[in-house]
């Protein structure tokens, strides 16, 4: 038998495999990792060529992912693609999965009220999610899924070029701000987001997801503080 990766051979032996049809067993783990890396490289190459939201939509529609097989519809964005304000949530829920639009269920209705409270409406902002397909049973997206779809989200940000981003929930906050800190430590203060493909720095606020506020209404006061911080920034521009 030719020289093998000792760790891989030990793994096979511990699993009960003692004979091989090939005198040099193939390390499928390494092949899988290699294919993953190649896919990521090709994906990034393709994304670099994308210049519009419609082109990005087509790229997502053609993208294969396990979530796509369990979801009904791709949920991409809603609102104004020329807006300077971007709201980013976690992932579609049941109602969003059925309609193909983000934030249309009870959480979306609360978001509409939150926007109205600071004199904004959905036609004035751009709304999207970290994950474009609904995870089964509305589960929280895994770290692997967040990392996989992050390039698509970053491309959206590069195309829209918002001046302000409002992150709804811990998943969006950790994805965009690249931090393990809890949402309670991130909210209530301004952060900066900078991409290597963008010249301008984006002002970022993190706050509670409307779905969480429906379950825990005691945090609505803190969310209101965050919304007022955004309104104050907008007022100072005028």
List the domain range (segments joined by +) for residue 87: 50-237
Domain presence at residue 137: yes
Residue 66: C-alpha distances to residues 35, 70, 134, 136, 181 (Å): 16, 7, 11, 10, 29
Beta 191-193 vs 202-207: how paired, if at all? antiparallel
Residue 203 sits at φ, ψ, to 5 deg, of -80, 130
Burial class (CB in 10 A: 0-12, 13-18, 19+), 108: buried
Domain presence at residue 183: yes
Query: In DSSP terms, which residues pair with 186 in a beta bridge?
Result: none
Domain presence at residue 227: yes
Beta 164-168 vs 85-89: how paired, if at all? parallel
What's the chain's length in residues? 238
Domain presence at residue 142: yes
Domain presence at residue 184: yes
pTM for the structure as a whole? 0.82
Q: How far does CA 192 lie from the centroid of its chain?
A: 17
Q: How far does CA 115 lie from the centroid of its chain?
A: 21
Domain presence at residue 141: yes
105 in Cβ contact with 94 (< 8 Å): yes
pLDDT tens digits, residue range 59-118?
999 999 999 999 999 999 999 999 999 999 999 999 999 999 999 999 999 999 999 999
168 in Cβ contact with 209 (< 8 Å): yes
Domain presence at residue 15: no
What is the tally of structural domains in the chain? 1
The CATH number covering residue 141 comes to: 3.40.470.10
207 in Cβ contact with 227 (< 8 Å): yes
Q: What is the full per-residue pLDDT of the chain (238 aa) written as tens digits?
A: 444 445 544 544 444 444 333 344 444 334 344 455 555 555 556 888 899 999 999 999 999 999 999 999 999 999 999 999 999 999 999 999 999 999 999 999 999 999 999 999 999 999 999 999 999 999 999 999 999 999 999 999 999 999 999 999 999 999 999 988 999 999 999 999 988 888 889 999 999 999 999 999 999 999 999 999 999 999 998 6
Domain presence at residue 223: yes
Residue 38: partners with Cβ closer than 8 Å, 6 or more residues away: none
């Amino acid at each position: 038998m030719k020289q093998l990766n000792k760790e891989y051979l030990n793994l096979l032996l511990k699993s009960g495999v003692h004979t091989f049809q090939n005198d040099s067993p193939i390390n499928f783990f390494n092949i899988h990792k290699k294919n993953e890396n190649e896919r990521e490289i090709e994906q990034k190459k393709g994304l670099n060529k994308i210049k519009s939201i419609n082109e990005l939509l087509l790229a997502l529609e053609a993208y294969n992912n396990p979530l796509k097989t369990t979801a009904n519809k791709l949920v991409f964005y809603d609102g104004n693609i020329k807006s300077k304000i971007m709201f980013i949530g976690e992932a579609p829920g049941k109602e969003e999965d059925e309609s193909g639009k983000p934030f249309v269920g009870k959480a979306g209705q609360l978001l509409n009220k939150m926007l109205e409270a600071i004199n904004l409406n959905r036609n004035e902002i751009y709304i999207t999610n970290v994950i474009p397909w609904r995870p089964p049973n509305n589960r929280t997206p895994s770290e692997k899924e967040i990392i996989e779809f992050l390039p698509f989200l970053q491309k959206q940000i590069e195309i829209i070029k918002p001046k302000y981003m409002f992150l709804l929930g811990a998943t969006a906050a950790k994805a965009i701000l690249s931090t393990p800190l809890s949402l309670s430590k991130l909210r209530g203060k301004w952060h900066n987001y900078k991409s290597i493909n963008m010249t301008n720095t984006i002002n970022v606020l993190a706050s509670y997801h409307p779905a969480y506020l429906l379950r825990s209404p005691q945090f609505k006061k803190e969310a209101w503080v965050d919304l007022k911080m955004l309104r104050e920034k907008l007022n100072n521009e005028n």
